[in-house]
Structures are given as C-alpha cells and as structure tokens.
A and B are shown apart, each in its own frame.
Chain A
Amino acid sequence: MKWGLLTIAAALLLYPFILTGPFYWDIGVAFLLAAISASAWNIVGGYAGQVSVGHSMFFGVGAYMPLLFFSLWKLPPVAGVPAAILLSLALAVVIGMPTFRLQGHYFSMATIAVAELIRIFVGTWDLVGAAIGLQGPAVGRGWWDLTFRSELPYYYMFLGVLAVLLYLTFEVQRSRFGYYLRSIKADERAARSLGVPVRWTKLKALMLSAAFTSVAGSLYSLKTGFIDPDSGFGILVSVQLLIVAALGGAGTLFGPLVGALVLVPLQTATNTWFGASGSGLTYILYGGIIILLARFEPGGLHELYHRISAQLLRR
C-alpha cells in the first residue's frame, strides 16, 4: 500500500517530464480537474450514498465567482474563491436541510432541479454576463492573476489541490464521521436507531463536497479564463463528475482517479476522431457506460478488480 502510494505520487509528479509538450500537459490538467471534481462529488455521492445529479451548481458557483470579482471590481480572480466556497456552503444547506428528511430519490431530483434553476437564472442575469458569460483578465497584470501561458503551473497547482482533497478524504474515511457515512449508506434506518445523527452527517458530507466542487470550478475558470452558463451550470458538468467517480468506484479513495484515467483520454480521443460532432457522440457513449455500470457493476472498476482478483486467487 505504501509503495503503491509512492508510485502514484511519483507518477503524477513526474508526468509532465515523461510526456512533454502542450498536448500531453493539457490532458494531464484535464485529468487532474476531473479527478478533483469527482473526488469532491464522491464524498456525498459515494461515501454517504446520496446521489447528487446537480453538482454543477457548486462547480458553476466556483467557476463564476472569481471571474465575477474580476469583471466587477477588477480584483485578481483568486480573491473570489473564498466567496464561492461560502456561497456553495449556503446552497448546500438550502438543498440539504429539507431533502435529507425525505427519501433518497428526492435528493437527486432536487439537486437536478436546483442546478437547472440556477443555470436558467444565470443565463438571464446581465450582471453575471447572461447567456454570454464572463471573461477573466486577457493578460495577467502580475503573478497574482494566475494567467500562465504554459500548462505546467496549472498542472502543479491542480495536483496540490488534489493531494489535499485526497488526504482529507483519507482522514474522513478513518474518522467517526466516515463510519457514520458508511452506516448511513448501508442502512439509514439502522444507523439512526444506533444513534447516528443521520441528517446532520449527511448535511456535513454535502457541505464538504460542495466546498471542494466549488474549488474545482474555480480552478477551471482560473485556467480557461472564461465561463458561460452551460460550461458552469449545465447538466453535462454534473454528468462528468458523476460518471468519473462511478466508473472508478464510488465511495473509494482512488476510484475517481481511476475513472479519470479512463475517461479523460477517451474523451480526448472521441473529440479528435470525430471532430466537432464528437462531443455529442461522447455523451451518447457516456449514457451507455452509465447504464451498463448501473446494470452490471454499480461498484465500478474498483469492485470489478476485486472480484476478478479474488477469483484468480482462488484458482
């Protein structure tokens, strides 16, 4: 386990030097962003078993706020990150408080409806750029604007965030809070009868997840310097988080990394092979993958791996 961890860390740290050039670095950054946002989703969707299909609302808030700080007050975009986290936490409370009293499906339904509400609302609101969206500083006024021409600084910035998030998830896993989460996922009624504060635990998981999803959104817009309603709040953003985590293995520490490792190159491939129509085909493919996962392997590649390796050992 220890050596495995070191290998992963070394591979991630050295990747930009093994595969050099903007093309590979770009894939690397996309991989890290997918891993970060899916790991964030994983806290509530995987560990707590509360399947959100509207996490784009937190991602979008995170993506909009930095560029809003820039376009309104000419502040460096990073200054908007804490505000985005606060707003995401507030949103999490607004959705979590009422829905966590109700049955599981209700939460999923509420998340998708609220995300869509915000997407349409942002699309009509001139202050935040309406349908056109917002733009960051075209040329950095200093290092604090975080506009780099090379992909490398972003790569290491994202890697740092991913490391923090994974460490936190690891700690959560071992803590009392983590056991609460797993007990709720396994059987909510039993957990409650054993004295687990079910609603509060779920809400805490959602808030933690929302905060990091918001950070992921901020990283995205800091790097691209542009955001519009669809790339921030669109349903496809939620799909991306969900499928990466579920494919790798929802509720496992490294599941999101494995999912991102498979899906990000796949997406790059379909986009380059099929050109402009590729994104449509990608989502047809995603739909198919999600259905197959649900039908045959809800535990994702993680569970598949464990089952196959157990079978091999038995022989």
Chain B
Amino acid sequence: MLLVQVIVGGLLLGAIYALFSSGLTLIWGMMNFINFAHGEFVMLGMYVALLVVVWLGGGPGMFGFVAACALFALGVAVYLLLIRHVARGPMLAQILSTFGLALLLRYTAFWIFSANFVSLPQTYLSGTINIAGILMPVPQLVAGIVAAALTIGLHMLLTRTTIGSQLLAVAEDRAAAMLMGIRPDRMQALAWGLAAGSAGIAGALMAIAYPWSPSVGETFGLTAFVVVALGGFGSVPGAMYAGLMIGLIQAGSAYLFGPIYKDIIVYGLFVALLWLRPQGLMGRA
C-alpha cells in the first residue's frame, strides 16, 4: 500500500511539474529561447499565494487566480521590456537577460522573505482522505488534479482555438505568420504571459501542499529543464508525460534511497539524456 501511495504522490507532484514545464517548453518552441527565470516565476507564485492569504484572507481559489493574473502580467512585462530587445541579439545577451532576472528575483525574495521555509496556514483543503486504503493528503490531491486539468487546458488552448493556432503559426514560421496577418510580437508577449501565468498558478497550487523558501526557484527551474529535455523541446504533450515521469522518478528515488538523492537522480538522468537522446523522448532534433 505504501508503494501505491508513493506512486500516487509522485504522479500528483509530477502533474504540477508538467504544468510549469509546459510554459518553459512553449517559449522554447515559440522563439528558441530558454528562460532561466522560470523557476523564479513558480517561486513568486508561491509568495503571491502567501501574501493574498495573509493580507486579504482569501482561499485557494482566490489566490490561485491572483497568482495566475499577477504572473501573467509579469511575464508580458518581462517580454515587452526585456526579452523583445534581446531575442534577436547576440547569444550572450539572450542568456544573460533571463539569468540576470533569475538572480534579481531570487535574491530580492531572499531579502524580503528571508531564507526560512514557510507554508500556508490551514485552509478548508486541509486533512487527509482515505481512498481504498491509500491515505492521501487533500491539498496534494487537489493541487495535482487541478494542475493536470490546467495543463490539458493549456494544450487544448494551443491546439483547438484560433489564438492557439496563431501562437503555433508564429512558432512554426515567424515570417509566414506575419504574412497571414498575425503579429508575432503580440503572440510572443502572450506566450510569455501564458508561460509565466502557468508557472504562477503552479506555484500557488504547490503552496497549498508543500512548504517552501526562496531557494525553491532554482530547484524548480532545473526540474523544468529536465522535464523539457525529456519531453522534447517545444512539445507541450511531451512536457506533460515527462512531468509525470519526473514526479514518479523523484518520489520513487526519495522512497528507495532517501530524499536527498531525488534531485541527484533527476539531474543525472538529464546528463544521461544529453548523451543518449538529446532531442528528448517525443521531440524533434
């Protein structure tokens, strides 16, 4: 029974990984650009949730919404003020832009919130339930299921709507999309908003279930890299499967070898992947 519990726990965490990694892979697919501050967006989502609970006394529905909107706005702003100007520039500027942003956000968070771990106060989602002998904490269950639904929603948005087709058109061929009357700049701003927004809401969901500190941004950012590399760059469905897999692998290795080894194994998998299958499981080279 414990093993089933580990597997379910891993899948639920993996669903959240899938959600924020989809954002990273979306930006990669759109503009061949890696966002080093993506993990920091997740971390900010967690603190937005905390601030909403503390200041406004809102519940999970409210702070999830606020985190998504706040990070969406931040993502668009980052694109308009920074990324748009460096995206066609030298490689150094591309890498430095989001790397510097990550540092700025991380250390500002350390400065404001200190390095201590925090967690949200109890909400109506607290407690555990017993499903056929498997004990599941309700917050994890809700967070995982909502994250899975949102990831599928994002995928549907990209594949089933006009806006999604426009986004994918820009990803496919910027110049051709422009000739079709699509404004690539707007679409890319939207992609950054969606990516940051999904990271923000993933952070808010995670805040319900797990404690955190400003340093989680680095961990989540790297986890997202591994998920994206495993799923294939630019592939949202790939990120979904890979996110679930990474969640499972982490939960499994924490269970088998102890919690400190879970990141070592995941990053080690990344190095192995570099050598064996750099295009990812479902990606194009």
Contact = CB atoms under 8 A, between A and B. Distances in A.
Interface string B31-51: 011101000000000000000
A239 B96 CA distance: 10
Interface residues of A, number: 49
A196 interface: no
B86 A49 contact: no
Contacts of B103: 239, 283-284, 286-287, 290
B211 interface: no
A291 B101 contact: yes
A41 to B, nearest CB: 11
Interface string A202-217: 0000000000000000
Contacts of B225: 109, 112-113
Contact of B264 (A108, A124, A246, A277): A124
B86 A295 contact: yes
A52 to B, nearest CB: 9
Interface residues of B, number: 46
Nearest to A50: B91
A87 interface: no
B100 A116 contact: no
A108 B101 CA distance: 15
B124 interface: no
A53 B92 CA distance: 11
A293 interface: yes
A113 B274 CA distance: 11
Interface in A239-277: 239, 242, 246, 250, 277
Nearest to B86: A294
A178 B34 CA distance: 28
Interface in B18-42: 28, 32-34, 36
Contacts of A235: 218
Given A280-B107, A295-B82, A290 B32 contact: no
Contacts of A293: 93, 96, 100
Contacts of A50: 91
Interface string B90-113: 111111110111111111101100
A51 B264 contact: no
Given A51-B91, A294-B97, A103 B271 contact: no
B267 A120 contact: yes
A232 interface: no
Given A51-B95, A235-B218, A294 B34 contact: no
A114 interface: yes
Given A101-B278, A113-B271, A298 B100 contact: no
B267 A116 contact: yes
A292 to B, nearest CB: 8
Contact of A288 (B102, B104, B267): B104
Contacts of A51: 91-92, 95-96
B57 interface: no
Contact of B89 (A110, A113, A298): A298
Contacts of A280: 107, 110-111
Contact of A120 (B28, B99, B106, B263): B263
Nearest to A131: B260
Nearest to A250: B92
A218 interface: no
Interface of A: 45-46, 49-51, 53, 94-95, 97-99, 101-106, 108-110, 112-114, 116-117, 120-121, 124, 185, 235, 239, 242, 246, 250, 277, 280-281, 283-284, 286-291, 293-295, 298
